[in-house]
Amino acid sequence: MPPTTAHPDADRERLGLHADCESCFGLCCVALAFTRSADFPIDKDAGEPCRNLRPDHSCGIHPELRERGFVGCTVYDCFGAGQKISRSTFAGQDWREHPEVRSSMFALLPVLRHVHELLWYLTEAQALTLGHDVSLAAELTQAVERIDLLSTGSADELLALDLGALRDGVNPLLVRASEAARARSVHQPRGRRADRRGADLVGRRLAGADLRGASLRGALLVGADLRGADLRSADLVGADLRGADLSGADLTDALFVTQVQVDAARGDATTRLPAGLTRPAHWGAPPVARSRARRA
């Protein structure tokens, strides 16, 4: 059987983990710093509004971000932190009208984004575990409820969070869910599965590699040649896929893959993606552009 029997989108919707730019005060376009690079054509300090941010918090160049060199904007996802900070934590106080909230509001974005990202992974672990391990499912549910409650705290409470401890508490649950799912997977190869956790595979030639069921947690795959690689049921949590070539690769049932990872990679019409992810428009493949950058 495939490793997952449910898709976590409903839970993510309930927890507010999908970015809703229209409910956000453009926080990612102000709070974060840019460095002139392949991802951004300009330098920008943290707390300085991007020159393309309109007064209504929309992006003035949204349809042409890649063409204008703002690639970094197309591969950023706040996991719903932006609208929660804008509408809930700060109760709708716009930083333009309330300069007194600016510094803590902007400082909070990376913190709450991290918290929401953990929730995102936990919802996937829940889906992987559903119907297989009652005990782990209960632990995951408790973790989701606890962290979701934390995410509703005040700005001061959130800024005081020990993110490292939070992550260290979640990781063992994700590893258990991943190992069990990969062990059950029909894609798992005979014998030992590759363990490349945190491996430095930057620019590595891995074309056609058999990476079925491999652990690539936190692996650095920047610019790697993964053309035609078999990544079915591989664990890709936190793997850096920027510029990696996934043309013809098979990521069916790959675990913990986010849209941002896919958007940051290269690929083509023959790349097979996990359910729920969208083929990026810049891969030159059939329809659906789904940039996570701010709306026009």
- The residue from 73, 85, 115, 255 that contacts ligand SF4 (CB under 6 A) is 73
Nearest to 238 by CA among 118, 154, 107, 70: 118
70 forms part of the interface with ligand SF4 (CB under 6 A): yes
List 31, 59, 81, 219, residue binding ligand SF4 (CB under 6 A): 59
For residue 91, give every residue at least 6 positions away whose Cβ sits within 8 Å of its Cβ, in sequence order, or none.
none
Nearer to ligand SF4, 4 or 86 (CB): 86
Contact pick of 15, 61, 231, 255 for ligand SF4 (by CB under 6 A): 61
Taken in order 176, 137, 130, 146, the sign of the CA dihedral is negative
- Let me know: does 248 contact 269? Beta carbons within 8 Å: no
Q: Does 31 participate in binding ligand SF4 (rule CB under 6 A)?
A: no
Q: Name the minimum Å distance from CB 285 to ligand SF4.
A: 23
Binding of residue 118 to ligand SF4 (CB under 6 A):
no
Q: Does 181 bind ligand SF4 (CB under 6 A)?
A: no
SS3 for the chain, per residue?
CCCCCCCCHHHHHHHCCCCCHHHCCCCHHHHCCECCCCCCCCCECCCCCCCCECCCCCECCHHHCCCCCCHHHHCCCCCCHHHHHHHHHCCCCCCCCCHHHHHHHHHHHHHHHHHHHHHHHHHHHHHHHCCCCHHHHHHHHHHHHHHHHHCCCCHHHHHCCCHHHHHHHHHHHHHHHHHHHHHHCCCCCCCCCCECCCCECCCCECCCCECCCCECCCCECCCCECCCCECCCCECCCCECCCCECCCCECCCCECCCHHHHHHCECCCCCECCCCCCCCHHHCCCCCCCCCCCCC
Q: Does 95 bind ligand SF4 (CB under 6 A)?
A: no
Task: Rule CB under 6 A: say whether 47 interacts with ligand SF4.
Answer: no
Could you say whether residue 53 binds ligand SF4 (CB under 6 A)?
Answer: yes
Q: Which two tokens stand for residue 206?
A: 């891995």
CB of 149 to ligand SF4, least distance (A): 30
- Residue 273 beta carbon to ligand SF4: minimum distance, rounded to whole angstroms: 24
109 binds ligand SF4 (CB under 6 A): no
Please state, in angstroms and as integers, the Cα–Cα distance from residue 134 to each residue in 7, 33, 243, following that order.
Answer: 18, 43, 39
Toward ligand SF4, which CB reaches closer, 183 or 296? 296
Smaller CB separation from ligand SF4, 53 or 109: 53
Nearer to ligand SF4, 59 or 254 (CB): 59
Is residue 50 at the binding interface for ligand SF4, with CB under 6 A as the rule?
yes
Q: How many residues bind ligand SF4 (CB under 6 A)?
A: 10
CB of 53 to ligand SF4, least distance (A): 4
- To ligand SF4, the closest distance from the beta carbon of 287 in angstroms equals 22
Residues 153 to 172 in contact with ligand SF4, rule: CB under 6 A: none
The reply on whether position 294 binds ligand SF4 by CB under 6 A is: yes
Q: For ligand SF4, give the closer residue by CB, 61 or 273.
A: 61
29: contact with ligand SF4 by CB under 6 A: yes
Binding site for ligand SF4 (CB under 6 A): 29, 50, 52-53, 59, 61, 70, 73, 293-294
